[in-house]
Structure formats: C-alpha cells, structure tokens
A and B are shown apart, each in its own frame.
Chain A
Amino acid sequence: MVAAVVSTTNCGSQGPLAVDVRDLTKRFKSGKSETLANDALSLQIKRGEVFGLLGPNGAGKTTLVLQVLGLLTPTSGSITVEGVDVVAHPEQVKTLAGYMPQTRLAMHNIEVERALYITGRLRGLADGVARKQAEELIEHLELGEHRRKFVSRLSGGLTRVAAFALALMGKPRLVVFDEPTNELDPVRRRVVWDTIRDLNRRRDVTCIVVTHNVLEAERVVERVAMVDHGRVVALGTPGELKARLGEEVRLEVVLKPEVAQHGRLEPARERLATLGTVVDLRPGHYAVFIHRHGVGGAVDALLRDMEGMLDDFRLAPPSLEDVYIHLAGQKLEG
C-alpha cells in the first residue's frame, strides 16, 4: 500500500504552513521581449493539504511550482517551503520535495524498476528501503508486467504512471504533480487520484496538483487556486468557489453537426444567449449558465425553438469546472 511507501512525517492538516509564497514575480526575458509569468502572486498552503492549481495554458502555474521547488529563481518575492527559504537555499528544498513534471522522463534506456530504485537511492533511501518502496509502488500502480521494460518503451499513459511513481520515491513532505492524469485511461486515473488522496489522508504529505482536469480534481483537492495571467484570480475550497456562482445552473447544449454545415451556428448561439450566459466550449458545444428559477422555462424554450438542432443537452449543478470557465473564460481541454 502507498501508506507504507511514502513519508512517515505526521502533521495535522490544520498545522503550520508547508508553502508560503509572497509577492512572487517572475519575468522571462527573450531578446527585447519580456513575459510576465507570475505577477506579485501570493499563496499559502497548509501542511498536509491537497492543493489544486487550476488555470488555462500559459497562466503561470508551472512557472510557479518550478519556483516553489527551487528550480527557477524568482525575479522578486519570497518562497518558504517547510520553513526553508527557497530563494536563498534552493538545494535544501530538494530533500523535501518530489516532483512529477509534464515533460517526458529523463531516463530512457533504463528499466522501470531500476529507475525507481536509483531515484530512491539518489533521494537518500537506504538500499533495502529503496527496493521495498519501488516494489510497493510497482504493485500499487499496477506496473508489474512493465517493471523490466525500458522507460522509453512505455506507452504515453504508462510513462505518466512511471513519472508519478518516481515523484513518490524517497520521503517527500511535499509532492508537486503537474497534470498527473494526462494520457491515462479511466482506471489508472482513478488509481492516481486515490493515491494522492491516500498520501494526504494517511501520511499528511502536502500535495500540489496542477491540472486541467477540474472535474476529477474536485473530488480530491481541499483548496483550489485559479491562476490566470500569472495571478491568483480565485482561492478557496471547491464549495466556496462554487458558491460564487450563486443560484446558477449549468445547461450544456450540443448541436447537431449539420447546424454548423448549414452556417446556422451563430443564430443558434444567439438564441441560447437569450436563456443565460453562454460560454463556448467548442463549435456547436456550449455551456449556458441560467438562474435555477428559470430552468423550466429555459428547457421549454430550448425544446420548442431548437429541437431540430439539438444533438444532446444536460442540466448539472455548478461544478468547479463552471467556476473555472466563468473566471478564465476559456474552454477546457478533454
């Protein structure tokens, strides 16, 4: 079980801060142009918390976690991880943190089992402990039949699972997962989310999850920061953030392909806009946010005026994804 695999650090979720980011600014210069990746961003994450970082591509999420891990130097601001000043002592934080990056694995012609063992040794585990932990992770993440395969020969999904396992090797007190469930099938996605939850509940490891997969993350994360243009635009528990939508309900509408083929998308969208706030998910696929008292009338109008155009529609209570869509104003991937 993962419980035996990861850190034995025992801290309450109401305890001191694991991560304290204050007025963090990061600028990238390339020739004469300059990109502001993080803009005076502040964030506090409690020890033992599962914290979600959501936001569109290029919002500054990965830049933020790279700085938290001591892998990028901030332009200004301060970062403390478990009491360690990351800006002054970036090497120290590496003994405390595990990281699952989005990039492909650094090891290529090395077997999965050996890659895990070596990573454990380099993270300071004794020989026997590293072997045991690698074995437990292989079993828990169902990598048994792939243990002797070279990392470079794994499928995209299995490579992500191997990267997930590598991040857990050692005794991390903080683990950062960057898009942990990308490319995974539903069964492995569930295993990954269960493992993250397990890490938190049973071992109080602080977890930062950077993801686009808002619907899945919602079941696991305790608090969420939504990042856009390098700033935190919303912060709170999923419940608190969903409360921002107040009395609104999401009506998701999918139009038939022929509507687009006949150039009737725009009139259809205009009709939907009379029912509520329309957000484009993709061409012919919309989320309409309507007041809950107006649901009956909206559905009636939809069926009356657009029945021939409808491929599918569904009503759902507000989700974290809806908050995300409202705030970021961007369509989600997946």
Chain B
Amino acid sequence: MALLGRYWLEFRYLFLVQILEQRGWLVGTILFTSIFPLMLVFGLGRIGIGQTAETLAYVITGSTVVSLTTVGITMLAQDLGNAKERGDFLYYASLPISKAVFLLALIASKLLIQLPGIAVSLIGGSLLYRFHLAPNPLLFLIIPLAAVSISGIGAALGMLSPNFQATNVLSQLILFIVMFASPVYIAASALPLPVQVFGLLLPPTYAADALRRAIAGVTDGRLALDLLVLFAWAVASLGGVTRGLKWRLK
C-alpha cells in the first residue's frame, strides 16, 4: 500500500508538471486535436456511395485509434527524444521516481489533451451520420489502455534513438507501419493475409475492435479478449520501460 501511495504521489506531481509545461499552447493544441479528427471523420465518411453501419463504425472509431496510437508512438517518442536532447533527463533521472510512473504521467497528460478531440470525433461522427452511439463506461477503460499499450514502442524510440532527428523519422515510420497493418479504417478481411497476421500482433487492432464493439453496445467475449490483449501490452510496455530502458543521458 505504501508503494502504491508513493506511486500515486509521483504520478500526481509528474502529471501536474506535464500539464503546467503545456499551459502556453494548451488551448491551441486542444483546438487542433479536436478539429483534425472531426475533419477526418467527415471526409472518410463520404468516400464511396452508401456507407453501411459497419463501415461507419470503422470511420468514427478510426480517428480515435489514430489519435491514441499517435500519442503512444509519435508524441511520446518525440517528447522523450526532445527531453533527452535538451538534457532534461538529468533532472528526472536524478529523482527517486519510478520510470513507469513517469511514463504513465506523460501519456496521461498527452491523453488529456487528446480527449476533447476523441469526444468530438465519436459524438460528432455519430451525429453526422445518425449513427447510434451506445454510451458505454468501458470506453474509459479502453481509451487509456490503448494509449498505454503502445507506449513501450514510443518510449523505446524516444529514449534509445541516437538523436532527435532519428527519433522523429523513426517514430513517423513506425506509426505508418503500425497504422497500415492495423484494421483501423478498413476491415481486416480487406487486407492481405500477411498484413492481417502482422496486424494481430499490434495493439491498435484490438483497440479499434474494442472501440467498435463498445460504441455499438456489444459487450461480449471478443471485447473481453481485446481488453485482455491491450492490458497485456500495457503491462509489457510499462514493465519493459522499467526493466529494460535506462535513462539514457546525452
């Protein structure tokens, strides 16, 4: 219990630091991250003629999964890479804090900024296409789990890349590969078999499926499996960061 209390204290203050650091451009970032997913939902929903309820579910949840995956890979990697480049790690590395908690606080702060965009794309998309959005409390579990589940990749990139340029390029490349192989906007069955198999290894596949089921009000064994896989990825990410990664000091 004492350890949990300590972790909670660390999380509160590290989260506060991250939010305070973003004060200056918080409103602008929230506006941007809100408008962009909505435009994506608006644009993709109009491709082709006669969208079915199933394809609309892909479009409406797709933006959310892209946002979450971007947080977990690109934003996290770039934030950590930038911090390493500026020498900020020296401060955090010298504090008696948990690396996993630091990572969680960083993800949580990014997620908080993305939340309005996620809400706008889910609610806006359902209103736009008259898609019935079932209110499901599991969304509050799926969304953070999805962000944390992929954070190990972002954290590894940010901490281990030799410089910020490498972090930037690699994080974009890996984001592209992950998004390409995950059935986020299109059904898995529409992808080539090798890509389908590769996609089964990636957390966004399960995040997208879980979101589609949750907003459709489906709570079944497949959703439980999605959550289990996301949870396993989240534990592996945090465990990997704690055990495998060192505060790499420039």
- Which residues of A line the B interface, CB within 8 A? 66, 69, 71-73, 91, 94-95, 97-99, 101, 103-110, 114, 118-119, 121-124, 166
B93 contacts partner chain A, Cβ-Cβ < 8 Å = yes
Contact residue among B9, B20, B88 (Cβ-Cβ distance under 8 Å from A106): B88
B interface secondary structure, majority:
helix
B 88-101 to A, binary, CB cutoff 8 A, 1 in contact else 0: 11111111110000
A89 to chain B, nearest CB (A): 12
Q: Which of B22, B91, B247, B249 contacts A107 (CB 8 A)?
A: B91
Q: Are B92 and A106 in contact (CB under 8 A)?
A: yes
Q: Is the CB of A71 within 8 A of B10?
A: no
Identify the closest chain B residue to A73 (Cβ). B246
- The answer to whether B90 and A123 touch across the interface, beta carbons within 8 angstroms, is no
Q: Is the CB of B94 within 8 A of A71?
A: yes
**How many Å lie between the Cα of A122 and that of B22 in the bound state?**
20
Contact between A105 and B21, CB atoms less than 8 A apart: no
Secondary structure call for the A interface: loop
- B residues 117-143 with Cβ under 8 Å of A? none
Contact present for A71 and B17 (CB under 8 Å): no
A-B contacts, 9 of them at CB < 8 A, read: A95-B96, A101-B87, A101-B90, A105-B91, A109-B22, A109-B23, A118-B17, A121-B13, A124-B96
Q: Contact at B249–A110, with CB atoms within 8 Å?
A: no
Minimum C-beta distance from B6 to chain A (A)? 8
Contact A71 B95 (CB under 8 A): no
The proximity string for B residues 62-89 relative to A, scoring 1 for CB distances below 8 Å and 0 otherwise, is 0000000000000000000001001111
Provide the residues of chain A in CB contact with B10, threshold 8 Å: 122
Asked if residues A122 and B97 are in contact (CB atoms below 8 Å), the reply is yes
Q: Which residues of B contact A66 (CB under 8 A)?
A: 249
Bound CA–CA A122/B89 (angstroms): 15
Those 7 A-B pairs whose CB atoms lie nearest each other, nearest first: A106-B91, A103-B87, A106-B88, A94-B96, A99-B94, A95-B96, A101-B90
